[in-house]
Amino acid sequence: MTQTAQDTSYILAIDQGTTSTRALIFDRGGAVVRLAQKELPLITPQSGWVEQDARQIWADSVAVCAEVLDGFAGKIQAIGVTNQRETTIVWDKVTGEPVYNAIVWQDRRTADQCQALQEGGYEDIIRERTGLLIDPYFSATKLAWILANVEGARARAERGELLFGTVDSYLIWKLTSGQAHVTDATNASRTMMFNVVKQDWSDALCDIMDIPQAMLPRVLDCAGHFGDVSTPDLPMLRGVVIAGVAGDQQAATFGQACFKTGMVKSTYGTGCFALMNIGNEFRESRHRLLTTVAWRLDGVTTYALEGSIFVAGAAVQFLRDNLKFFDNAAQSEAMAQSVPDTDGVYFVPAFTGLGAPYWDPYARGAMLGLSRGTSMAHITRAALEAQGYQTKDLIRAMAADTDAPLAELRVDGGLVHNDFVCQFIADMTQARLRRPVNTEATAWGAAALAGLGAGVYSGLDEIDALWAAQKDFTPVMAIEERDALYKGWKQAIGMVRARS
């Protein structure tokens, strides 16, 4: 779609991620007009614990919005919000002050509580109602931990003084000066308290987790009226409608226009998340994937199978920041290609446990196959190749669940600017990998939902027409080589797993 002089609709997307907070202004054709970003530090009080300062999340959101709007003459029609999912915030319903740091989705502190839930026989009811497996990844046990461990939190919650939300809820509450305590169906589906079949909070699950339901936000469709901006911190946005919300991976799936059943996108950011559109009927995975809400529009739910990997781009950050292999993550591609192979090295980036299809919160990362000849280049190549192996794990499970091989994979996220990674993923999955012109799929998905909710777009066909491929990668590796490499990966996984 070509933007005309008369077509001056602009949409602001707030993309609050694990490692940074960003604001992007999109024109009606889906092009990025302005972008601002602030890095967000992690707090790691002890091994397996990952936190962030919720007040910093808000301050950074205000700062990046103010930056992109400074001197901007266009009219913002609507705001879309997308966010790191599962990250848990509890705040005072009057003052807005968090009672504890945000507990990040990567946090593993509730592993023992999750094991107790499994041993208590709750796995079936949780899977049947939420589509999820019991894991510290999700919000419920994080919320329960705050109520049990922050002084006075339980009593205050039971008196109705505290609110819970994922990051989207907290930002919307702040943007609307406390007028809207809401979330969307995608973020609700990641809490382990939301019945994704009935599309409502589950009384039974809240009772199991001992969560007062008065803390929980109202659940809305992904496109619609979430509230109007009224915060004095952003006077230039006063009165603008928040019209689209989705968790980051669902937003990316929407931004990649995976509107037809069977379409798959995979995002390579801090973690790696592959989602397959499975249509309007809920069904459980038989191969330890998650069934999640892809989006809900006009009361109609579209579901997805999801494979969640906790560390993707974060492995490159680890080599850069912890091991000082290079100064810039972009240098990893040339370093990896400076050697013909890994010389038998495998890098398993299980820094915060293993996600799908293994679900082992006690596993930890490892470099295996080291020899006297191992160099930084071999280790770097192994870290990049891990993304192909992890994706193959997910795609194999999806193919087994749907009885259909994958023909095409749409990819996005910072790591897909690396051609070596893209080609290796294509080789491992034996699917055509498609990198779009607009690699800002997550922010664009939130903007597109907001445009839908505010009437900027008439429907999905109009949004679908805006998607275009920038480059395709087709498999070139011999099947025998692929199978031998993947066999080595499976052996490496077996060596780091704490439980089978």
Specify if 474 maps to a domain.
no
CA 207/CA 197 separation, integer angstroms: 18
**Which tokens go with 247?**
């968790």
Residue 20 has phi, psi (to 5 degrees) of -160, 165
Best CA proximity match to 15, nearest among 6, 24, 5, 3:
24
Count CB neighbours of 255 within 10 A. 32
What does the angle CA 390 – CA 396 – CA 400 come to, to the nearest 5 degrees? 150
- Do residues 305 and 284 touch, judged by C-beta distance below 8 A? no
Best CA proximity match to 425, nearest among 291, 265, 258:
265
Specify if 265 maps to a domain.
no
CA 155/CA 434 separation, integer angstroms: 51
> Tens digit of pLDDT for each residue in 390-437?
999 999 999 999 887 788 999 998 899 999 999 999 999 999 999 999
Specify if 19 maps to a domain.
yes
> What is the bridge-based pairing of β-strands 75-83 and 241-247?
parallel
CA 222/CA 363 separation, integer angstroms: 35
| CATH of residue 208 | 3.30.420.40
Specify if 50 maps to a domain.
yes
Within 8 A by CB and 6+ apart from 223, the residues are: 243, 244, 295, 297, 449, 450, 452, 453
What is the edge-to-edge ordering of all strands in the sheet holding 432-436? 290-297, 300-309, 272-279, 264-268, 408-412, 432-436, 469-473
Specify if 73 maps to a domain.
yes
This prediction has a pTM of: 0.89
pLDDT score, position 4: 40
Specify if 262 maps to a domain.
no
Q: Report the largest interatomic distance among the alpha carbons of the chain, rounded to a whole angstrom.
A: 66
pLDDT score, position 80: 98
Count CB neighbours of 300 within 10 A. 9
Paired with 26 in beta bridges are 11, 32
Q: Which residue has the tokens 């409608």?
A: 241
Paired with 360 in beta bridges are 354
Paired with 89 in beta bridges are 165
Number of domains in the chain: 1
CA 26/CA 31 separation, integer angstroms: 5
Task: Give helix 248-255 / helix 441-453 axis angle, nearest 10°.
Answer: 80
Give the residue numbers spanning the domain of 57: 9-256
Specify if 147 maps to a domain.
yes
Specify if 314 maps to a domain.
no
What are the C-alpha distances in Å from 449 to residues 72, 184, 400, 442, 461? 22, 11, 31, 11, 13
pLDDT score, position 500: 54
Q: Looking at the chain, how many residues does it have?
A: 500
Q: Walk along the chain (500 residues) and give the pLDDT tens digit of each residue.
A: 334 434 578 999 999 999 899 999 999 999 999 999 999 999 999 988 999 999 999 999 999 999 999 999 999 999 999 999 999 999 999 999 999 999 999 899 999 999 999 999 999 999 999 999 998 989 999 999 999 999 999 999 999 999 999 999 999 999 999 999 999 999 999 999 999 999 999 999 999 999 999 999 999 999 999 999 999 999 999 999 999 999 999 999 999 999 999 999 998 988 888 999 999 999 988 888 999 999 999 999 999 999 988 888 889 989 999 999 988 888 999 999 999 999 999 999 998 888 888 988 889 999 999 999 999 999 999 999 999 999 999 999 999 998 877 889 999 988 999 999 999 999 999 999 999 998 889 999 999 999 999 999 999 999 999 999 999 999 999 999 999 999 999 999 999 987 65
Count CB neighbours of 339 within 10 A. 15
**Which tokens go with 385?**
């190749």
